[in-house]
Amino acid sequence: MADLPEKLTKPYQPNETEGRVYKRWEESGFFNPDKLPKRHKEPYSTLMPPPNANGRLHAGHGFEIALKDAIIRFQRMRGKKTLYLPGSDHAGFETQMVFEKKLEKEGQSRHDIPPQKLYEEIMAFTLENKKYMEDDIRKLGTSCDWSRNTFMLDPRVTRRTQETFVKMYGDGLVYRGERIIHWNPKHQTSLSDVETEFIEQEDPFYYLKYGPFVIATVRPETKFGDKYVVMHPEDPRYANFTHGQKIELEWINGPITATVIKDASVDKEFGSGVMTITPWHDQTDFDIAERHGLEKEQIIDFNGKLLQSAGEFAGMHWKKARPLIIEKLKSKGLLVKVDEHYKHAVRVDSRTNVPIEPQIRAQWFVKMKPLTEMVIQAVEKEDKITFIPDYQKKVLLHWMHNAIDWNISRQIVWGIPIPAWFKGDEVHVGMDSPSGNDWQKDPDTFDTWFSSGQWPLTTLGYPDGADFKTFYPTDLMETGSDLVFKWVPRMIMFGLYLGNDIPFKTVYFHGMVTDPKGKKMSKSKGNVISPVDMSEKYGADAFRMALTVGNTPGGTVALSEDKIRGYKHFANKVWNITRFVLSSTGNASTEDKTTFTQQDQKTVDEFKAIAEEITENFETYQLHLASEKTYHYIWHTFADKIVEESKPILLGGDAEAKRSREALLLHLWVGCIKLLHPFMPFISEEVWSMLPEEQKDGEMLMISKWPM
RNA sequence: GGGCGGUUAGCUCAGCUGGUUAGAGCGCAGCAUUGACAUUGCUGAGGUCAGAGGUUCGAAUCCUCUACCGCCCACCA
């Protein structure tokens, strides 16, 4: 038997191997496209969707990295000049939430901390988390270029983001408006629609006498100022009321004059077909008021307390006031009936579940129409972006066809400051503060998607950076399918608007990673599986493989530990095949390694056919097939068939057959290790280092030539 | 109320543009094996491809409808 490396005689130890191999990769410099050998000419680029730097890496990140790193490694071996650009997001509101929770646990409140100090503390907290997260990314074997690592609050990124705002203001794509916004009263900030969601809730539904009408509401405390009564213009029941008609009636705090409004948005079938409106605290009502030029009055302040119009209830929080108001309505005979179990949808902050309070507030808005039209043109008309799976294109376009103007102001400190100043009614937008006194800086920061939407531009150094010229548009964006309307369309918008081109040629949406039972992972359920824990237990290779094999693009993945364990076994199989191949070919003469017997040549041809299929699967982003074929070939063709049938040949007396067979085993095994590398980078690189020099094209598998 | 995805072996899922006896992993049963590997090998059981109808020489694969499961969107007060 030939001399074998000591470690091959023991089972494969991922923990002993992975860190060391990653260090070799990093030190080689080959993660950096500029340092790749000359054969790597044609660029291939992708960006890491920046993980939020407020915690550790989760399974979704692990999934994304497993797929994307496989593609990047494949492309690098194919000879592309590959860039995989890493980074992290400050994640504005979300990070501030995480930080506030931490403060709460420590018995503190953010209101006790001055803004500048708060910002600094969150920054320290974020930078610490960022470090851990980057370590996690390394542990998974991610072949990204750390020299280009970008953080959303790097000065060049924040400057670019602000400059974009200034440019958009100049182009009329950004305006300051008093419009209904989603107000989170607990955290005192506005949110965009994608940051909120509806939850089903059961509440009492109050039917109230409003002059000759009966109206219904779940929120009687908003009704003090209701002085418009609205009905459908074609509702026969109210044909004798005319638009603009004045009606004197008794209301909660005394007599008022109501005005009849006819508007087609009212549903004749719902309830009595009549409603009163509260334009300050309801989107529908606001729209009706806008259409007819009606007055709007704030009833509840930004802390949830009732204002002047509530009369005796002024100053009370609406929650406290509601039962008292109901009492009063009852005593005045205005309460017709109560439906105690009325089911309806309530909008809440999707991160904190705090019920949203619609409010009118002066905010910065992005005018969406011109931008979404550019997206529709590029995606629908010109078909410039490949969507995987392709039905996601419809989802995105539906969103684009129905977009409403985007509120980009947030009343939180943790974010990129909006470069605007106010003096009375005057507004100044620019990179520098205006000259003259009495200008007040806008204290708000940008919505996190305003900066992350520009990620492909800022990371690559738009407008004149070398990377922007080389790598824009990027080849691939891979991200979670939940971002199909949050992040992806914004990147396309900004890409087209600023960069004059789509930001990526292909967008691949991976599905959600759930627990083994198909349930969404969440900290509260305690079913979270950490990619790093799994990697430490079974090896990052096994984790990556388990997430790749058999998972159709876009599909939900139930992450099972059994499956990961299965691929740890596979890693060990690879290890032992290596041991067999090296020990049975170590004494082979080096004179002829390229010609085979007819029989063996056939086996080589079969390998080529498989390798071709795998290559094809890679090119069409069918990694679930590419990885499964690789696995299957190595274990059930190479090990079970080729190795087994080799044993008698190697022991037999036919010298030519033996020579050919030894050459065959080495030749095929080198090919297998190459095919395996994108999926299981660590063990394949480790095996490569033990294969004989004359079989290899270079020291490092990572940049060796793909077998096709 | 709209839209989308799914329903294939006990479990988790593959099966691309329709083409001979429907596949994998895990699990299960039996056998083997101490010179690559028990983190092993071989063999096997197990499916009317959700249901109904249609197109076709031929459908798990295309069309229609139905039934469940899941996801997303939506200003019914």
AA letter at A611:
A
Distance separating alpha carbons of residues A426 and A422, to the nearest angstrom: 6
Cβ–Cβ < 8 Å for A535, A682: no
Strand B, nucleotides < 7 Å from a protein CB: these are: 3-5, 12-15, 23-26, 36-37, 39-42, 71-77
Whole-number pLDDT of residue A349: 85
Query: CA of A559 and C1' of B13: distance in angstroms?
Result: 12
Q: Which residue is nearest to nucleotide B42 (CA to C1')?
A: A640
Q: Nearest nucleotide by C1' from A404 CA?
A: B75
Distance A686 CA to B72 C1' (A): 44
What pLDDT does A88 receive? Answer: 93
Q: What is the pLDDT of residues A155-170, one digit of tens each?
A: 999 999 999 999 999 9
Region A115-139: mean pLDDT is 93
DSSP codes of every residue in A408-450: -EE--SSSPBP-EEEETTEEEESSSPPSSS--EE---EE-HHH
What integer pLDDT is reported at residue A589 of this predicted model? 52
Residue A365 backbone phi and psi in degrees, to 5: -125, 145
Q: In this structure, are residues A496 and A375 in contact, taking their beta carbons and an 8 Å threshold?
A: yes
Q: What is the ipTM of this complex?
A: 0.91
Q: Is the pLDDT of residue A325 over 60?
A: yes
Domain boundaries defined on chain A:
191-349, 537-555+563-703
Give residue-wise pLDDT tens across range A462-515. 999 999 999 999 999 999 888 888 899 999 999 999 999 999 999 999 888 887
- From the alpha carbon of A552, which nucleotide's C1' atom is closest? B14
Least confidently predicted of A69-78, A205-214, A350-359, A575-584: A350-359
Distance A613 CA to B58 C1' (A): 27
Q: Which nucleotide is nearest to A269 (CA to C1')?
A: B76
pLDDT at A588: 55
**pLDDT reading at A590 higher than 70:** no
What's chain A's average pLDDT?
A: 90
pLDDT band at A1 (very low <50, low <70, confident <90, very high): very low
Q: Which two tokens mark A198?
A: 């509806």
Structure tokens given for A417: 């400051």
CA A32 remoteness from chain centre: 25
Distance CA A227, CA A208 (A): 14
- Which nucleotide is nearest, taking the CA of residue A194 and each C1'? B73
Q: How confident is the model at residue A258 (pLDDT cuts 50, 70, 90)?
A: very high
Distance CA A82, CA A68 (A): 12
CA of A562 and C1' of B26: distance in angstroms?
7
Q: Taking a C-beta distance cutoff of 8 angstroms, is the pair A244, A259 a contact?
A: yes
| C-alpha angle A645-A646-A652 in degrees, rounded to nearest 5 | 110
Give the tens place of pLDDT for each residue, A85-105. Answer: 999 998 888 888 888 888 889
CA of A599 to C1' of B60 (A): 37
**Which nucleotide is nearest to A275 if distance is taken from CA to C1'?**
B77
In this prediction, residue A571 carries a pLDDT of: 93
How far, in Å, is the CA of A642 from the C1' of nucleotide B38?
A: 21
A353 CA, B9 C1': Å apart: 43
Nearest to A352 by CA among A124, A100, A112, A58: A100
pLDDT higher than 80, residue A460: yes
Nucleotide closest in space to A641 (CA vs C1'): B41
Q: Measure, in angstroms, how far nucleotide B70 C1' is from residue A610 CA.
A: 36
Q: Report the protein residue whose CA lies nearest the C1' of nucleotide B13.
A: A550
Calculate what percentage of chain A has a pLDDT beyond 70: 98
Question: What's the CA–C1' distance between A8 and B10, in Å?
Answer: 38
Q: Is the pLDDT of residue A180 over 50?
A: yes
**How far apart (Å, rounded) are the C-alpha atoms in residues A643 and A674?**
18
Q: Which nucleotide is nearest to A270 (CA to C1')?
A: B76
pLDDT of residue A94: 83
Q: Which nucleotide is nearest to A567 (CA to C1')?
A: B39
pLDDT band at A2 (very low <50, low <70, confident <90, very high): low
**Domain A191-349, CATH:** 3.90.740.10
Protein-to-nucleotide distance from the CA of A705 to the C1' of B6, whole angstroms? 40
Instruction: Measuring from the CA of residue A551 to each C1' atom, give the nucleotide at the shortest distance.
Output: B13
Pair of tokens at residue A550: 């058999």
Average pLDDT over residues A600-608: 90
Residue A531 (CA) to nucleotide B11 (C1'), in angstroms, measures 23
Q: Do you find a cis peptide bond into A370, omega within 30 degrees of 0?
A: no
Task: Please tell me the predicted confidence (pLDDT) of residue A681.
Answer: 96
In this prediction, residue A593 carries a pLDDT of 65
Q: Is the dihedral of CA A560, A566, A572, A573 positive or negative?
A: negative
Residue A371 has pLDDT above 90, yes or no: yes
Q: Highest-confidence range of A193-197, A199-203, A573-577, by mean pLDDT?
A: A573-577
CA dihedral A34, A36, A39, A44 (to 10 degrees): -60
Which CATH number is associated with domain A537-555+563-703? 1.10.730.10
| Residue A220 near residue A322, CB atoms below 8 Å | yes
List, in order, residues 6 or more apart from A41 with CB less than 8 Å away. A79, A81
Residue A654 pLDDT class (50, 70, 90 cuts): confident
Predicted TM-score (pTM) of the model is: 0.91
User: Residue A419 and residue A441: Cα distance in Å, rounded?
Assistant: 8
Residue for token digits 């890679």?
A618
What DSSP letter does each residue of A517-585 carry, written as one string?
TSPBP-TTTT----HHHHHHHH-HHHHHHHHHTT--TT--EE--HHHHHHHHHHHHHHHHHHHHHHHHH
Q: Which of A79-83, A649-653, A663-667 has the lowest mean pLDDT?
A: A649-653
Note the CA–C1' distance, A82 to B69, in angstroms. 42
